[in-house]
């Protein structure tokens, strides 16, 4: 095999290792982000319940004030009953008192219903708060574990990266640039074998003349379809 290609295949093994470690770190981070999201959502739903309860409380106080006004009005009307002169006046006051009592009854019902809904929301909130404190524990543990694991992967990675950089120094700049470009564009598979005349990167056939040149192995040749750097791979070829 061409010496440059040999170097690149060795470099590629290391780059693939690095890519696997990166994927591992990123999947750990994603798992943590997912847990954090669920935790935050629960937190938000508690805040929403809290707001609902506070709004209901405010409404209840307003209705209570209205109710007290209605009671005062009834008392005032009842006081007037003593001084009433005509039947018409009497009937009118009586109606006002009856209406006032009706209003009070309605307000009382509204208050009861608000209190019931606040109580129900309070129960849900308490449950959610329990869950949140459980979640927090789980999240903290998971977070510590994931961070520790990610750090160990990171350490492993830096060692490999050092090795990679040392190795890359031995490769000609232009070759390395081409390789790096392909590596990024071709999902860490920049150098691939040709097996039975087929590129193992894109699985297209290599034209016979081009294949013959690859067989010679004296220079770097690309796949005409995917541009990956090719080498002849007799070990994988069928007997």
Name the site residues for Zn ion (rule: CB under 5 A): 199, 201-202, 223, 225-226
Tell me whether residue 121 or residue 205 sits nearer to Zn ion (CB atom).
205
In angstroms, rounded to a whole number, what is the distance separating the alpha carbons of residues 26 and 8?
26
Tell me whether residue 4 or residue 222 sits nearer to Zn ion (CB atom).
222
Q: Is 80 exposed, middle or buried (0-12, 13-18, 19+ CB in 10 A)?
A: middle
Dihedral of alpha carbons 6, 214, 176, 160, sign: negative
CB-CB neighbours of 134 under 10 Å: 10
Minimum CB separation of residue 219 from Zn ion in Å reads 17
Tell me whether residue 63 or residue 195 sits nearer to Zn ion (CB atom).
195
Q: What is the CA radius of gyration of the chain?
A: 40
Write the CB contacts of 22 (distance below 8 Å, at least 6 apart in sequence): 157
Minimum CB separation of residue 217 from Zn ion in Å reads 17
Minimum CB separation of residue 146 from Zn ion in Å reads 38
Minimum CB separation of residue 7 from Zn ion in Å reads 20
Minimum CB separation of residue 167 from Zn ion in Å reads 25
Tell me whether residue 122 or residue 224 sits nearer to Zn ion (CB atom).
224
In angstroms, rounded to a whole number, what is the distance separating the alpha carbons of residues 15 and 180?
10
Tell me whether residue 97 or residue 199 sits nearer to Zn ion (CB atom).
199
Minimum CB separation of residue 204 from Zn ion in Å reads 5
Tell me whether residue 124 or residue 202 sits nearer to Zn ion (CB atom).
202
The Cβ-side half-sphere exposure at 107, using a 13 Å CA radius, reads: 19
H/E element, 198: strand 198-199
């Amino acid at each position: 095999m061409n010496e440059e290609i040999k170097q690149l295949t060795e470099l590629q093994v290391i780059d693939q290792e690095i890519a696997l470690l990166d994927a591992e770190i990123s999947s750990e981070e994603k798992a943590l982000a997912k847990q954090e999201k669920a935790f935050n959502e629960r937190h938000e739903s508690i805040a929403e319940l809290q707001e609902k309860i506070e709004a209901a409380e405010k409404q209840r106080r307003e209705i209570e004030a209205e109710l007290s006004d209605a009671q005062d009005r009834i008392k005032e009307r009842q006081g007037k009953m003593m001084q009433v002169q005509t039947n018409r006046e009497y009937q009118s006051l009586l109606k006002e008192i009856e209406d006032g009592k009706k209003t009070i009854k309605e307000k009382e019902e509204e208050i009861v219903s608000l209190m019931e809904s606040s109580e129900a929301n309070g129960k849900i909130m308490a449950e959610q708060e329990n869950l949140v404190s459980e979640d927090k524990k789980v999240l903290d543990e998971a977070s510590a574990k994931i961070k520790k694991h990610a750090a160990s992967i990171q350490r492993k990675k830096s060692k490999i990266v050092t090795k990679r950089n040392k190795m890359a120094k031995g490769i000609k700049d232009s070759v390395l640039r081409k390789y790096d470009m392909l590596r990024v564009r071709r999902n860490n598979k920049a150098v691939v074998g040709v097996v039975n005349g087929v590129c193992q990167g894109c699985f297209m056939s290599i034209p016979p003349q081009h294949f013959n040149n690859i067989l010679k192995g004296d220079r770097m040749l690309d796949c005409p379809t995917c541009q990956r750097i090719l080498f002849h791979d007799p070990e994988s070829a069928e007997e």
